Structure 1
Amino acid sequence: MAANKEAVAIILDVGPHMNQGPPNGPTDLEEAKTCAELMIQRRIFSDSKDEVAVVICGSQRTNNSLSSDDEYQHIDVLCGLQPVSFDMLDKLSDVKATQHVCDFVDAIVVALDVIVDKTKNLKCGSRRVVLLSNLGGTFNDSQQNIIADGMKNSDLSLTIVCPFDVQNIGDDAAKLSRSQKKAAEYIGKILEAVSGDSYTFSQAMPALMSYEKKRTRPTPWNANLEIGPDISIPISSYIKVVEVKTKPWKQFVAKRTEVPVRCDAVYYRNDEKETEVEKDSTVLAYRYGSTLVPFTDESRAAMDGNKGGSGRGLQVLGFTDEAN
């Protein structure tokens, strides 16, 4: 994993309490799923190298490395830490609410284990656990200091996305159950200890809907600007605007070892008969406005000769009046 990439474990609560919601509005589970899907989509479309894990809290099945006969039950590691993909989105779309109430604190511990186990020998920019829940389930409040210390020692951060502001309940207090208030106080102390952050669904979704462009590091083209035979100025050139192109179709073709993908190039004249032309009969050309300017082997040899064999660079061939 690259040093500037992020490892993220998304915890999605699907317990029966997540079926709550305003009249004629989406349930808490629907909003939580939308946030999780947007987090993954955002990384797919920006061609991000971040790795993401998805942990289901309150799942029908139990699938995690910490489970025993009576501990860490109904927690499913739906996707281990891996690069984001459309397969991950497909799995997430099939997730439904269940009748199993799960301790979200246990789910946080499982998510921490998933990230630490996969990244312990790797360098990554940051590691983060994101909990999507209305905090309406049961929880064990005896592990608060252990979790906070473990996250700080492992350099992990925590983000909570909830229907209400966990760190500032305010006017929402009247709508919350006693259990939710207690959970908000509990999780708020962990956030404070690890310098984590919290958002409401209404705050998170607009931010996640704006997709990022692919992050690239600008690479200079280093060469010389030559003016006549005696003046050579070192320059570094950068591309200011780059067209974002879709990936070539060859990267998406179905893998069939018995029939490998083969690319054939055929050249035709731009005329009514579309006469086929051999490659040896073609000449490289560059477009200058609407005009195609041929660049033959003789032209290349002449330029290389004038540059003394340097092979690359910019050359001032002459000057002309502005009116031209």
Structure 2
Amino acid sequence: MASVKVESTVIILDIGRNVSEPEEKDGKSFFELARECTIRIIERKILSQGHNLLGIILLGSKNTKNNLATSGCCKYIETYADLQYPTWQMIRDLPDKPSKARGNWFDALLVAADNFKTEISAIKPINKQIILMTNFLKPSHVDGSEVDLALSGLQEEGIQVDIIGLNVYSNENKNEDIEYAKKILEGTNGVSVTFEFTMRYLLFHKKKAVVPMNWNVDLNIGPSIKIPVSSYIRLKDEPIVKKWIKAIKDPVTNNISSTEYIAKNKFLFNTENKTVVDKDKKIKGYQYGEQVIPFPDCDSAMLYDSGQRSLSVYGFTKASNITWQCLNGDGLSYVFGRKGDKKAQNAIRCLVECLHELNLVGIVRRVYNKGNAPKMFALMPVIDPDNFFCLSMIGICYKEEIKNMSFPATDIKKYACSDEQVNAFVDFIKSMDLMQAYEESDFDETEAFPIAKMVSPSAQYVLDCIAFRALNPGKPLPQPRDDITMLFKVPPLVEKRSKQSLEKLKSLFVLNKVEIKREKKTMDIDQIHCASICETFDTDMENIPKIDLNAFKKPDIRIKKIGTQNPIDDFDSLKKDGISMKDLTAQITAVIESMIYGNIDGNFTKPMEVMLHFRQECIKSEPSHYNNWLKNFRMELIDRKRDNIIKMIDEKELNYIIKSENSLSNIESDSYDDSQLYENDTVPNLTEVTIKSEVNDLFDNM
């Protein structure tokens, strides 16, 4: 634990009577604003998933509970939570109402400093921070010497003190305690900010700050040039929350159960014979189309070996050849010369300058580690104005991954624009400039949607939902808050500025609505006659003209092809229509093969019934249609290793049509061997040739 670098923070939250009065600005008291800010800080530290130790001290509590209270001082100060990793329970147990007691903020500062000594003595945190939230309306009754003594102790321990909720440097806030607090801030390099500024900083969740890990490798250029380089990930698509801990909630205690857990069973199931396969009998395989190619462990030596980690340059090409369609977008890395190696850094700088001057891009093959598949990347030069030289590395798509889309030409007379229309678009683009999207008085920066500073709205909403569900397990998830929906809106200044230009564009580009012409339904003579009768309808039943119902014939719906839904009925219907048996054979056999080869559930009842019907029809007419097809079908089943289908054909007596069933058949009743169906089912006589002994020796060596 001593080697783990952690951040430690102690929050001093004033809940006394001096912070209970609501302010005139927004109707909220100092206590309510401090509590909301504390909750937001705890949420940020939990969702960042970092090594953050957090402690909370309640100032002005009705209970006195701290390590320094044994000497009779530091009253009304409660150590609410010792330094530990933050939890949702900290937020749930925070007091929701202020107390009637008042505590001394200076004593609370000493209690917080004591926590760093007693709670994390075995840990060396990278920083120690105390956040003080009070309005300094309760006098501390300390003198300057005590403040100097406390300040020297804070400096010796390396503790930084920050004040949130009150700007001690403002002219509106002045008293003796604020002057002492200002002295402590300046001595510990602390800051003093308001709740409004802090909540704006905590408006969105941020990722956990991590130290970038370098990937060390040699950049190979040709057979003899090797440059030691280090690659760092600049951008990478990652899930919002990487690790989810699944647990069962105990309905009695409403907490995570320590005895219940989620059990998962995995088994292998054979869909053909509806049986469970033992794991010991499992053989790894790869599926190509409808056929599965087994790949046992003994063939593992045949696997492709990408080799050791490497970064090899295959060549250079013009930068214009690498368009955005060629990039796969999996992430971006920066390649630098190895740290501490001046020669490598100079070589990379020379390579960057050459690529930039010649307008070239390098194509490299990267193997991240042994056992990983190789990938192709593009190396592009990056030159920063501050003398910053490196190579950006981004993945390249393969040919089958690129989708080319063709668009019609627009440089024709039909689409030509006038100068007035072009200038109108230029003015419209200038009016929508995002670099001046806000008034300077509203925000620190006037740029809207700055690159590398924008947060993901979906990620923010997911993290908000996680925090809401942790604190409200039984309530429905809320809608996205206004701060997130604002990310989807056009900045007001841009919208106001572009309104006039947009109206001008509408007047210059008149858009005509295209109406889709639909075919008019025509009425035949009988329908027109019936319509005229309905128009001259009389209530006298005797005068109603008689309508010939035979005149309204139903449309002639005929089956044109045998389908897989009702193949037997389709076969019979087409046979009645006079379709020859030869044409019907081609259709029904295709249907049978489709229902067998494309079967998923393993139920072959329907194709067997169709096959039986086809056999019976061939017994009545020409048996060769069935026999010739069955001969080829059985051979195909053997090649596909569908022994179960062959077994079903034999069991249901769907074999060849024999002479006893139809005299036109050439198959005897005592034999169903497939070899009798072949005309040349004998081993051909091969011409004997003399092979030299050298050739035989060659094959023996192979």
Which amino acid in the other structure matches residue 186 of structure 2?
A: E
Alignment of 1:228-247 (within 5 A): 240-244=235-239, 245-247=241-243
Does the CA-based 8 Å contact 1:225-1:313 persist in structure 2? Answer: no
Does the CA-based 8 Å contact 2:132-2:163 persist in structure 1? Answer: yes
Alignment of 1:197-276 (within 5 A): 197-219=191-213, 240-244=235-239, 245-250=241-246, 254-257=256-259, 262-266=263-267
Does the CA-based 8 Å contact 1:223-1:314 persist in structure 2? Answer: no
| CA distance 1:71–1:225, shift in 2 (3 Å) | closer
- Residue 188 of structure 2 corresponds to 194
Give runs of ≥4 in structure 1 deviating > 4 Å.
217-226, 230-240, 266-269, 274-286, 293-300, 304-308, 313-317
Larger radius of gyration: 2
Match of 1:151 among 122, 145, 154: 154
Match of 1:74 among 73, 76, 89: 76
Which range moved further: 96-105 or 248-257?
248-257
Which range moved further: 231-240 or 20-29?
231-240
Which amino acid in the other structure matches residue 160 of structure 2?
A: S
- Residue 303 of structure 1 corresponds to 303
How far off its partner does 1:74 sit?
0.7
| CA distance 1:250–1:275, shift in 2 (3 Å) | farther
Which range moved further: 108-117 or 61-70?
61-70
Deviations 1:256-298 (A, max 9, x none): 34x56543235679x9xx9977666575779xxxxxx999557
| CA distance 1:250–1:183, shift in 2 (3 Å) | same
Which amino acid in the other structure matches residue 208 of structure 1?
A: L
Deviations 1:140-177 (A, max 9, x none): 32221111000001111100012x3112x12x24xxxx
| CA distance 1:195–1:19, shift in 2 (3 Å) | same
State the alpha-carbon separation in 1 of the partners of residues 65 and 238 from structure 2: 44
State the alpha-carbon separation in 2 of the partners of residues 252 and 225 from structure 1: 50
Which amino acid in the other structure matches residue 246 of structure 2?
A: K
3-state DSSP of counterpart to 2:184? helix
| CA distance 1:69–1:217, shift in 2 (3 Å) | closer
| CA distance 1:154–1:231, shift in 2 (3 Å) | same
3-state DSSP of counterpart to 1:68? helix
State the alpha-carbon separation in 2 of the partners of residues 251 and 133 from structure 1: 39
Unaligned runs of 5+ in 1: 174-179, 287-292
| CA distance 1:323–1:60, shift in 2 (3 Å) | closer
State the alpha-carbon separation in 2 of the partners of residues 295 and 224 from structure 1: 38
How far off its partner does 1:214 sit?
2.7
3-state DSSP of counterpart to 1:250? coil
Does the CA-based 8 Å contact 1:3-1:125 persist in structure 2? Answer: no
State the alpha-carbon separation in 1 of the partners of residues 277 and 92 from structure 2: 47
State the alpha-carbon separation in 2 of the partners of residues 256 and 316 from structure 1: 45
Alignment of 1:19-38 (within 5 A): 19-23=20-24, 24-38=26-40
- Residue 126 of structure 1 corresponds to 127
Does the CA-based 8 Å contact 1:38-1:208 persist in structure 2? Answer: yes
| CA distance 1:255–1:72, shift in 2 (3 Å) | same
| CA distance 1:132–1:275, shift in 2 (3 Å) | farther
| CA distance 1:316–1:250, shift in 2 (3 Å) | closer
Does the CA-based 8 Å contact 2:59-2:108 persist in structure 1? Answer: yes
- Residue 19 of structure 2 corresponds to 18
State the alpha-carbon separation in 2 of the partners of residues 99 and 316 from structure 1: 67
State the alpha-carbon separation in 2 of the partners of residues 284 and 36 from structure 1: 56
3-state DSSP of counterpart to 1:128? strand
Unaligned runs of 5+ in 2: 250-255, 309-368, 377-397, 401-702
State the alpha-carbon separation in 2 of the partners of residues 65 and 316 from structure 1: 59
TM-score calculated relative to the size of structure 2: 0.37
Coordinate RMSD, CA, aligned: 3.9
- Residue 181 of structure 1 corresponds to 175
Paired positions, count: 297
TM-score calculated relative to the size of structure 1: 0.76
Does the CA-based 8 Å contact 2:306-2:371 persist in structure 1? Answer: no
Does the CA-based 8 Å contact 1:126-1:156 persist in structure 2? Answer: yes
How far off its partner does 1:242 sit?
3.8
Which amino acid in the other structure matches residue 371 of structure 2?
A: R
3-state DSSP of counterpart to 1:146? helix
- Residue 687 of structure 2 corresponds to none
